[in-house]
Amino acid sequence: SAVELGQALEWLARTGAAGGQPLRSFDALAEIFRLAPGHLLFSLSRLERDTWLRRIYSTDPVRHRPGATKDMAGTGYCDAVVRRRSHLLSRDAADLRANFQDHDAMIADGIGCAINLCLQYDGQVVGSANLLSRPGAYGLDTLAHLSRFAFPLALLVAQSAAAGDITSTGLEGHG
């Protein structure tokens, strides 16, 4: 069953009061989302300019390293999340192909669906929260549940932008 929003916010508030922010809060959210709805990968991306994203958190930092940048111009993701400021549900491989330029790698990794939450703060898109899972794992009900976390996530991403890059590796570049 889905972790209730109230429980999750209490957990996040306790975590957020501790040191090591925002990484500890990102880890707490990854665990909340692992419990429900589940994920193969959870990452947070910050919109840095126009269509460029910088990954600031990943549950798989070796294969999807924080600090990596990606231009999302011309993708369904960019149209939905950046331009229309809406959440994006990719239900299957066809949707992944339509929405992401790296769809072949995603599918090869066993990813069959994705949810990308548009994170907005102070009238601006600041980034996205990205949950990727096995085929058939997410639907509209999952999107509705997760969308309630968009603003707390936006606050954390905006705070990380104010603090500068939070990558522990300090790596720059694409990936």
pLDDT in tens, 51-102: 999 999 999 999 898 989 999 999 999 999 999 999 999 999 999 999 999 9
- What's the pLDDT at 161? 78
Q: Which residues pair with 119 in a beta bridge?
A: 127
pTM greater than the 0.75 cutoff: yes
Per-residue exposure over 91-120, b if at least 16 CB sit within 10 Å of its own CB, e if not: bebebbeebbbebeebbeeebbbbbbbbbb
CA end-to-end span of the chain, whole Å?
34
